[in-house]
Structure 1
Amino acid sequence: MILFPLTFLPSPAWAEVCDKARPGWDGAHVGVVGEAISLFLSPAGVALLLLSLIALRFRHQWVGLAAVILWTVFITVVTMADPTGVRGLAMAEGCIGAPTLFIAAVAAICVGIVLYTKPRKSGTDGSES
């Protein structure tokens, strides 16, 4: 019973987890900010940021909808799709951080896209000139 807490310490079996999850990891603990930066600078993150900027720049509703749906798919893949089970072990090891800040920032981006690209009224607000 006294040895039970020792089962949660990193073991040699975890040593290869970070080699698979983050091949160039330098050994420093990755926090929520580092993980958010890593996810935003991934190829999919950069592409989605560009798509979001296009939707906001041209105030195009359908491009905004596509951006929000693709952000949702990206977050789902990042947080839920882990067929190998490596993500949980890599988070325990410290080479992958929690994606909570990334999810909150993407949620804010998506809300901004929806609100900024919503249909505008045609100028008839009920008052006469």
Structure 2
Amino acid sequence: MLLKFKAWPFIQAFTCLASSAAAEVCDKVRPRWSPNDGVVDQFGELYFFFTSPFGLVLIAVLALAIYFRKRWLSWSAAALFGMTAVLNVAGVLWPSDGVALAAIAEGCRAWPVLNVIVLVLTIIFLIQYSKPRKTERLNTVDLVGDGDDVDLLEAIERAFDLKLTDDEASDLETIGEPYDLVKAKAKSNPDFDPVWELVCQIVRENSMTRDPIDRDTTFFPEHAQERK
């Protein structure tokens, strides 16, 4: 009992030193964390990482890459995120000192598994986002939706007040072909006025009307007369 009693102060001193060392580690690695916050889990680690000054820089770089959509900027951002992911893994698996592992042991830091997953997913997104659009890579407007080509031809018919037969429509592949077709039909119709048809198209698009339009059609009901 006497030995235990005499050893107790040394045990207390050792415990205090260990606690002090742990506190110094957490103060160094994660100054915003306190023991009252509890053990940091994966989501907590993700929060601490992306709200750190460097994490905010990463978010700003990602926002710039999305906003400007420049290929070189997206690839540069992807490279930065990639190096960050590698450093996250290397800092824990091959630490230059025991600080990172000690912080994990003390609960003020977690293994950066979720951090690396989010960083890798962001890299994949940036690479996909930087790929040129089909309409940028190919000379096409890409009418991929069902009925988009029909809607386009119907809009041309309304704009120029003419009819395109099914045989004529089925042979159209380039935008120049309906242009030539409209010009040919316009020559055969002496009453066709392309300027008037374009004005009518603009009026229809802005008023959403499908009723007949002539030169006496008014912009406002109070100025209008009954239709004949």
- TM-score, structure 1 normalization: 0.79
Which of 42, 53, 71 is 2:81 aligned to?
71
Which of 16, 23, 27 is 2:31 aligned to?
23
Instruction: Say if 2:89 is the partner of 1:83.
Output: no
Give me the whole-angstrom Cα distance separating, in 2, the residues matched to 1:70 and 1:52.
10
**Shift of residue 117 of structure 1?**
1.2
**Shift of residue 115 of structure 1?**
0.5
Cα shift readout 1:54-96 (whole Å, capped 9, x = no counterpart): 1112211100111011111222223313322211121111000
Greater share of helix residues, 1 or 2?
Answer: 2
AA aligned to 2:139 is G
Instruction: Say if 2:57 is the partner of 1:12.
Output: no
Q: Any unmatched runs of 5+ in structure 1?
A: 1-9
AA aligned to 2:66 is L
Alignment coverage as a number of residue pairs:
119
Which of 50, 61, 84 is 2:71 aligned to?
61
Provide the secondary structure at the position in 2 that maps to 1:128.
Answer: coil
Which of 95, 114, 124 is 1:101 aligned to?
114
What's the RMSD between the two structures over aligned residues?
A: 2.4
Runs of 4+ in 1 over 3 A off after TM superposition: none
Which one has more relative contact order, counting CA pairs under 8 Å at least 6 apart? 1
Give me the whole-angstrom Cα distance separating, in 1, the residues matched to 2:115 and 2:105.
18
Which of 98, 101, 118 is 2:131 aligned to?
118
Which of 39, 45, 48 is 1:35 aligned to?
45
- TM-score, structure 2 normalization: 0.47
**Shift of residue 17 of structure 1?**
2.2
Larger mean Cα displacement after TM superposition, 47-56 or 10-19 = 10-19
Q: Any unmatched runs of 5+ in structure 2?
A: 1-14, 143-171, 175-228
Cα shift readout 1:89-127 (whole Å, capped 9, x = no counterpart): 2111100012111111111111111111112322347x9
Give me the whole-angstrom Cα distance separating, in 1, the residues matched to 2:88 and 2:64.
23
AA aligned to 1:117 is S
